[in-house]
Every structure is written in C-alpha cells, then in structure tokens.
Amino acid sequence: MSFWRSNRFWAWIALSFGILYFALPLIGTFEFSLRMKRGEYSFEAYRVILGDPRFQATFLYSVMMALLTIVVGVLLVVPTAYWVRLKLPRWRPVVEFITLLPLIIPAIVIVFGYIRMYNTSSVLPLTGSAFGTDILMVCGYTVLALPYMYRAVDTGLRTLDVTTLTEAAESLGANKVTILAKIILPNVLVAILSGAFLTFAIVIGEFVFAALLNRPAFGPFMQLIGANRAYEPAALAVIAFSITWLCMGLMQLVTRLQKHTQVKQFR
Amino acid sequence: MSVISEPVETAAATVIAKPRRSLAWLGILPFLIFALLFLILPTLNIVIGAFQNPAGEFTLANIQKLFHPSILASYWISIKVSVASALLGCLIGFAIAAAIVLGGLPAWIRSPIMTFSGVASNFAGVPLAFAFLATLGRLGLVTVLLREGFGINIYAHGFNILSFWGLTLTYLFFQIPLMILIITPALDGLKREWREAAAILGANGFQYWTMVALPILWPALLGTFALLFANAFGAVATAYALTGSSLSIVPIVLFAQIRGDVLQDPHLGYALAFGMIVVTIIANTIYLWMRARSERWVKS
C-alpha cells in the first residue's frame, strides 16, 4: 500500500527535522565554546571558567542548596504520601492538587510573595539575614520540586501494599517512625532517587529565586557571565547541559535497576 | 533547622493519631503548614496586594493600571510568544511523536528520543539562552555557516535572536520535547483495530486521521497546548538571559519591577503578578478539563 510507504517517508522527514533542530544548537554551542583563542580550537574558555573562584563558590552553593532541597523534599513528601495512602485516601485529591500548584503559579510570583511576606518588617523576617534567606531558598526550591517529587514517590508507593506492610510491621512491634525509615523508605528508594536527580537538575541552574532573593547561586552567576563575556557562556551552557544529561541518565539507570529487582522479587 | 525537624513532628502526630477517629489528618499537618507558608499564603499575599493601595485600603486602581497601553503591550507580546511556541511545539512535537509511534521507523529509535526529550524539556533557563546565542547570534555557528557557505545573511533579512521569533525559536527547544513526552502515550493509546476497521470500511490515511484519530486525540492535543502555553508564559530566565530587558514580556517587566529597576509603583507589581496568575490559571483549567475528557478514550 502506498499509504504505508508514504507514511514512512514523512516519518523520516519529521525525525530528520527534529534531529537537525536539536543537534544544531548543541553543536553550535560546543563549537562556539572552543573559539576563545583566535585561529584555533581550544578549551581555553573552560579553563578560564573552571578556574574562576566565583564559579567554584556559586556552583558549590547551588549544589548545597540542591542537596538540602532533596533532603527537605524527601522528609516532607515521603511521610505525607505514605500517610495519605494509609489513612487519608479522601484527602488525596487535595494533596495532589497542592503538589501541582507550583506548575500553575509562575515561580516569579511565588518568590515575589516571599519577598512581601518575609521582609524585615514582617513577623517572620527571613529575608533579613543570609541564613534566613537560605532557608527561604530551600523552601522555595522544595516547592518547585514538589510536583516531581510527590508524583515519583506516590508512583513508587503504588507498587507496594502499604496497609499490609504497615500492619505486619506493627504486629512485630514497630512504631511509625521505624516503619517509615526501615520499610517504606527502602522500598521507594528508587522512586526517591529519580525524583532527587530531577530536583538536582532543576535547582542547580535555577535563576529567578536566587536572583530576586539576592543569593550567590550558580544561575545568577551564569547570567552575569552571559552579560559580560563572549565565549565563557557557551562553555557554561555545555557544562550545564552535561549536568542535566548526567542527572537524567542516572534517573533512567535507577529506574532500570528497579525493574530488575522487581523481576527478581517475583521469581 | 526548624524545617528539617518537621518529619519528626509527623511521627509525633501519627502516634497521637492512634486513638483513631478524626485525628488522622494530623499526619499531613506538616505538609499542609509547609504548603500554606511557602506556596499558598505568598500567592494570596500577592493577589490581595493587587487590590490594595499603599495605605492598605481596597482599590481597583492597580488593576486599572494593567490596561495602560505599555502594560497591555507586554501582555500581548507575552501571549503571542507563548501561543506561537505552544502551537509550533504542539505541531512539531506531534509530528515527531507520530513518526516514532506510527511511522514505521526502527523500534530502537524510540528509547533514545524519549530520553533526550526528558533531558531537553528540563534544559530551560540561562544555559539554553547561551546555546541559542552561540548558534543563531551574530557570530553563531549557523549564522556564520549560512553567511559564508550559502551567502545568506539572516541578520540582513531582519532576523534577530533578540526578538519575538528568536525567543519563540528558543522556547521550542523545551516545548517540542515536552509535547513528545506527553503525546506519545496518547498515540500509543490509539488502537490498531481502529485503523484496521477504518481501512476495511474504505478510508484512506487522510480520512482515518481527520475522522477517527484526531477527534479522539483532540482533547489531549488542546490540553497539552494549554500546558505548553503556561510553560512559556511563566518562563523568565531564558528570556532574561537572551534579551536582557530589551523584549518586554510580562515576566521580565515583573522581574525588573521587583528588582527595583523601574520602581515607580510597587502595587503595579502585584497587579502584574496577579494578571500572570489569572492567565496561567485559565490555561491550566483548560488543560485539566481536557485531560479529564481525553482519559475517557485513551486508555491502554
């Protein structure tokens, strides 16, 4: 049938167009990042940017923020998702709706709200000190990561029989903290990890929160370099893309590992 | 540290909840308090601020200021960029997803494309702007290649990366993959039998698409369009790193307003933010409504 053949022809056209559109900016960026020395390709831009003390400081700061966000996110989401599944199924739509709100309300609006609510003349003047602002940043990033974290953990919990596991543990004398730490957490670890990698990828280059709360994070540093330099931004883009790629790769790997263990369990 | 100790409170709450009856909701209290403090109250604060004057009295004056021509122009260009990037993102993403699922391409192609889509849909923000500057900027690879290889100077033909089309082209880098990620499961849900039944009844490919497949996919398509729209509408970092404040889309005007670069009236900022919430809520309501409709049909 000519219909099927023409189908395949159009499929290749669509795919080639896609590959061209997505490959060109990546190739273009990489090529541009090598052009710093005149007349030859070199890794000079990478050497300059990696050697910049501000790069090291802001990158480290954002890594710390990302790790703290993951910890707070896990401590907040895992008990909540567990408890909703175990005891409060009727609250589920409410909790799910709240976790989806960060996708609806633009981040810039949320941070604007923080600045207004936690300013120095408020009841809780978090923006008054660097430490307080850092707490606010971690909370804000936890909010941004909430949709992904909650969905990942909730999907992980779906494969478990939460009620039976809890009752079995309780009959052996475990309290709720023990159950969460020793039974639920290990069982949804893969889901948590995949949520964690995504959170890391989001937080590491985040710009709006850090810029408006005035903290020395990696996102505003990249923007500053972009406004003032020619070749270093391209090098930064390559580095940032590699980090995103690494996080997603690890996420895939972890999910695949989970499938393996599940198969083993059923045997 | 107070934040980190919250789950311990959860545990404490669950112990109290043991006597049963109505105290079980205490278990999600830490979550609710967190959401209230860092998501809901800050947003409400902005919404209320939009209807207050500096003395704290109720007023509609801030909302009225949104209808100033320069502000309206910002909303208009924001909506144009969001619609264009969502529309093109939907069309191209759909074409690629259809190529993978229905196009008879080798099966191994699917997995790398889905993985790449996962990466690219998260590659928004400052680095994305750099990538496009390095590619389509005045000295970018493609610009130079076109000029020296083919004698086409795109900048002489009115193209500029710091423009409406430049921004749209850049947003497509995360819009197309997002569309692929969302629409591929929906395309998988199209049953083979439907196509075969249509073929037996004498339908050609075009008729199958317009009379069977598209009506089924329509809610999913429209819903994803709304999601992509909201996705582009709220984006700040990419546009700011790409154009500075030369292209005054709403998020950038708001960003400048908060930073105090153009601070004439803080309450106008609240109104701007309020306007953004209204637009994204409309877009997402359409998305949720359409998703509920499409789930009736597309079940695996």
Q: Which of B28, B108, B146 to mutate to test the interface with A (most CBs of A within 10 A)?
A: B28
Chain A closest-CA separation from residue B104 CA (Å): 6
Mean pLDDT computed over every residue of chain A: 88
Closest by Cβ to A79, choosing from B10, B100, B134: B10
A4 contact residues in B (CB cutoff 8 A): 104
Burial B112-140 (b: 16+ CB within 10 A, else e): ebbebbbbbbbbbbbbbbbbbbbbbbeeb
pLDDT tens sequence for chain B (300 residues): 344 444 444 444 455 544 455 678 888 999 999 999 999 999 999 999 889 887 888 888 888 888 888 889 999 999 999 999 999 999 999 999 988 888 778 888 888 888 888 888 888 889 999 999 888 888 888 888 888 888 888 887 777 888 888 899 999 999 999 999 989 988 888 888 888 888 888 888 788 888 888 888 888 888 889 889 988 998 889 988 887 777 888 999 898 888 875 556 777 888 999 999 999 888 888 888 887 777 666 554
Helical segments of B122-191, H only: 126-136, 141-150, 164-188
ipTM > 0.85 (yes/no):
yes
Name the 3-class secondary structure at B203. Answer: coil
Cβ within 8 Å, pair A87-B45: no
Q: What is the pLDDT of residues B91-144, one digit of tens each?
A: 999 999 988 888 778 888 888 888 888 888 888 889 999 999 888 888 888 888
Indicate the domain borders of chain B. Answer: 6-50, 65-295
B92 contact residues in A (CB cutoff 8 A): 14, 17-18, 21
pLDDT at residue A114 greater than cutoff 90? yes
Radius of gyration from C-alpha coordinates of chain B: 24
CA-CA distance, B31 to A80, in Å (whole number)? 7
Q: Which pair of tokens denotes residue B183?
A: 């629409």
Instruction: Domain A60-266: give its CATH code.
Output: 1.10.3720.10
User: Beta-carbon neighbour count of residue B203 at 10 Å?
Assistant: 16
Q: What is the pLDDT of residues A203-236, one digit of tens each?
A: 998 999 999 999 999 999 999 998 888 889 999 9
Indicate the domain borders of chain A. Answer: 60-266
Residues 6+ apart with CB under 8 A from A146: A73, A77, A98, A99, A102, B39
Chain-centroid distance of CA A113 in Å reads 22
CATH fold for domain B65-295 = MetI-like fold (1.10.3720)
Cβ within 8 Å, pair B251-A106: yes
Q: Provide the pLDDT for residue A267.
A: 38
Phi-psi region of A81 (alpha: psi -120 to 50; beta: other; left: phi over 0): alpha
